Structure 1
Amino acid sequence: MIFASDNWAGASDKVMAALAEANAGPSPAYGVDEITRRLEARMADLFETDVAVFLVATGTGANALSIAAFAPPWGAVLCHEGAHLASDECGAPEFFAGTKTVGLPGARAKLDPATVTAALMELPAGVVHHSQPAVLSLTNATELGTVYTPDEVAALSAVARTRRMAVHMDGARLANAISHLEVAPSALTWRAGVDVLSFGATKGGAFMAEAVVLFDRSRAEAMGYLRKRAGQLVSKHRFVAAQFDAWLDDEHWLDLADHANAMAARLAAGLRQAEKARLAWEPQANEVFAYMAPETAAALRERGATFYEWTMTGLPAEDGPRGREQLYRLVASFRTTEEEVDAFLGAIR
């Protein structure tokens, strides 16, 4: 009963087979190989526009380099206070870009235009005493399992444009967001105003594969140098490309996300009927948040369940705990089975 993280799930058989195939013989290094060229064309088709693609090994690297490509050292990056960029990157964006990260509140890990507008008023233009707004970063799906719609992304992008800010999307779980919304990747990214995407395959079924996707190709030359300087230019580049290529082939990535989301929905349906747990809010992707008494969580762990306690800081009153409840996160992956979900729900009963 593994619900700790989709990072625990390993890689799909198709991705692993692609790695073995890429290992069959020698190939040029540093991204000039045939697999990388094929992947770049596939990415352009996927997003329905010409893109520049820079593969990296980690999501932290993708996020930090995305910010560094668009923000000067005196720039401010606005994001949700619970976003990875603000709380889980160990200062990597500040290190590589020299920027100031400004975490903003928002219900269920989502920003709204009014909050961003108010924050921009606190950073007046042309005042050397203040960092200047440079990037608005949105996470989709969010750290609380909710999803921005294309209209919501477009509305936030419009606010960013009033200060000539770039818009970054942390898409570590973009596949799960697209699975939930059933929209084209282009609708949720560049057509809604996104300039740069951290596109994650690792959580969704790859071994270790992340990408910086530039919709603004004018930043491509700088990104090449930034990636190398950050130690993220993988010499045997074809092995990262092979994972992405197989993951995207024949909508395999969406099949994996569909399954993870379906298992989360099955888990949520059972928790709605449970007496010793309750849903904190309705999940929209593959993360489920539930309230339980600490002793209930302890008993579940004794029976072999793995999941994390989660912070309740910043939650609105309607999403808050009752009495002694604690908030817990349960994550379904492409490898989660119906039997695993049902075993967890049986243990709760």
Structure 2
Amino acid sequence: MTFSSDNCSGVSPEIMAALINVNGGSEKPYGADCVTERLTGVFSNVFKCDLSVFPVSTGTAGNAIGLSAAVSGNGIVYCHKEAHVYRQEAGAVEFLSDGARLETLSGENGKIDPSHLSTVLDAAPRSVHFMRPAVLSLTQTTEMGTVYSLDEIRTLSGIAKDHGLFVHMDGARLSNALAFKKCGADDMTWRSGVDILSFGGTKNGTMCADAVVVFTGSLKDRVEMNWKRSGHQLSKMRFLSNQLETFLHDDLWLRNAAHANAMAQSLATQLQDIPNIEICFAVDSNIAFVNMLETVFDKVSEQGSTSYHQKSSGYARARYLTSFATTQNEVDEFVREFKGLT
């Protein structure tokens, strides 16, 4: 039992079974197989538009490939100061884009403040002496576990478009956001101004399958080239494509996410009843941030259920995540152990 990361979970049984089924026989390599060839249609049906899809094995690859298609070495990507692309991807975007710069924006609850974005873009110099604003990157679900509303996405993307920027979405936990908002994938992405999406599957049931989804056709060729150059055009592509096809079939991705969200809500509801425990942000998804005494945190962390944390002035802020595989019994047991340590 661990609540340190949704990456700790296994693979959805449906996806594991599908992988075994696709293993029989031979298929054409490098994405020319029948599974990959129908994947575009599968994604088009879900997102209700014409698009291009490129399977990748990690979210970092999805972000770097997608963003580097929309920005060159003299461009700027704007993102929240807590964004994964800025804090935890080791310069992957800068590397693939030949030197683009990431600049951070402020905002409460993990969300970019529209007024800060407007101020920064209005003040950005347009001279040959300076790097050019190129992309706004939004994280949905945010790193704080909160979810942008459709209006919030549209406001931010509208500001970006007014200044000539592309809009990228880091959708590592897009499924959790959709399960929370109960809206269509199309409404949360291209209908709200998103040009390119890093689509997440690994945190929510696939073994190792994410994707770059391109809504704006002018970006397709560069995505495809960077996809190849970065080593993500797998020779046996059908094993990635099959995971994604199964993930989207019969709303498995949304059912998995809804369960993970419900487990996080249960965890937060029970923890907040413990004295000196505070839930830091709205639990919109499968992430709960919890404030506690540092002494309590040290005891709890010995159980192995915590990875990300911050300490200050005798208090600690810990992040707990649930997954599609988390059970109610595991949540209840963790809370009982937690109470015993406080």
* Shorter-normalised TM range: over 0.9
Name the TM-score, length of structure 1 as normaliser.
0.94
In the alignment, is residue 339 of structure 1 matched against residue 329 of structure 2? Answer: yes
Which residue matches 1:239?
239
1:55-66 matches, within 5 Å, as 55-66=55-66
**SS of corresponding position for 1:213:** strand
Matches within 5 A, 1:164-203: 164-203=164-203
Over residues 298-327 of structure 1, what are the superposed CA-to-partner deviations in whole Å (9 max), with x where a residue is unaligned? 22234x341124247xxxxxxxx7x52110
Helix, strand or coil: the match of 1:170?
strand
**Gaps spanning 5+ residues in structure 1: where?**
313-320
Task: Describe how 1:199-278 pairs up with structure 2 within 5 A.
Answer: 199-278=199-278
Gaps of 5+ in 2: none
> What is the aligned partner in structure 1 of residue 115 from structure 2?
114
Contact 2:111–2:142 (CA<8 Å) still a contact in 1? Answer: yes
The residue type equivalent to 1:103 in the other structure is T
Do 2:171 and 2:198's aligned partners in 1 also have CA atoms closer than 8 Å? yes
Structure 1 residue ranges (4+ consecutive) displaced by more than 4 angstroms after TM superposition = none
Q: Distance in 2 between matches of 1:115 and 1:54?
A: 33
Q: Which residue of 2 aligns with 1:78?
A: 78
Contact kept? 2:60, 2:89, Cα under 8 Å: yes
- Partner of 2:154, secondary structure, is helix
Post-superposition offset of 1:149: 1.1
Partner residue, 1:307 = 306
Quick one: distance in 2 between partners of 1:177 and 1:40?
A: 22
The answer to whether the Cα contact below 8 Å between 1:291 and 1:327 also exists between their aligned partners in 2 is yes
- Kept in 2, the 8 Å contact 1:201–1:244? The answer is yes
Where does residue 348 of structure 1 map in the other structure?
338
Offset at residue 50 of structure 1 (A): 0.5
**How far apart, in 1, do the equivalents of 2:84 and 2:157 lie?**
19
Distance 1:102 1:8 in 2: 31
Query: Cα RMSD (Å) of the superposition?
Result: 1.3
Offset at 1:297?
A: 1.8
**Equivalent residue of 1:274, what SS?**
coil
Counterpart contact for 1:147–1:177, Cα < 8 Å: yes
Residue 273 of structure 1: CA displacement? Answer: 0.5
1:124 aligns with 2:125: yes
Shift of 1:276: 4.1
Q: Partner residue of 1:315?
A: none
What one-letter code is carried by the residue in structure 2 that aligns with 1:230?
A: S
> Displacement of 1:184 after TM fit?
0.2
Report the Cα distance in structure 2 between the residues aligned to 1:310 and 1:301, rounded to whole angstroms.
10
Structure 1 letter corresponding to 2:322: A
TM-score, normalised relative to structure 2? 0.96
Partner of 1:328 in structure 2? 318
**Structure 1: distance between partners of 2:167 and 2:310:** 27
- Cα distance in 1 for partners of 2:128, 2:232 equals 33
